[in-house]
Amino acid sequence: MEKQEHEALLKIARMAVEGAYSVYSRFSVGAAVLLENGEVVRGANQENMAYPSGLCAERVALFYACSTYPGVAVTGVAVAARDASGAWASITPCGACRQVMAEVIRRYGRDFDVILADGEGYKVVRASDLLPFPFGM
């Protein structure tokens, strides 16, 4: 992906934050998944009174993308978040989301860029660098 594409995908992730249901943590996360066919799928964290029943934004978006377009590879994921005060936060995916990303790499046989909001800015990492020694691989 090029710089312009990173920034465009991150902009969509920042918009996706509005879909968060984060009444317990007050930490609202949005994710945008770019697919090889050009489609962009969004997700936001969804919490639940029974805490483990909720799901991170990254997995909401990735699972939706992979179930809607099962044969289409992921080419990028952007993640953004707002803290309880509403300010843009820095975000890095949790371990479970990293394991899911590792499986997405394996499933489609290609690595992808992960664009992580860092306050008002961002950094870019390769998905494969996020989780060394993933389970089962």
| Residues annotated catalytic, as ranges | 58
> Which range of residues in 25-33, 66-74, 103-111, 121-129 is near ligand THU by CB under 6 A?
25-33
Separation between Cα atoms, residue 33 and residue 68, nearest integer Å: 12
**And the tokens for 37?**
């066919």
Contact residue for ligand THU among 1, 5, 25, 73 (CB under 6 A)? 25
- Tell me how far CA of residue 108 lies from CA of 97, 105, 111, 116, in angstroms: 17, 6, 8, 22
**Residues 55-74, interacting with ligand THU (CB under 6 A):** 56-58
**Residues 110-129, interacting with ligand THU (CB under 6 A):** none
User: Any contact of residue 75 with ligand THU (CB under 6 A)?
Assistant: no
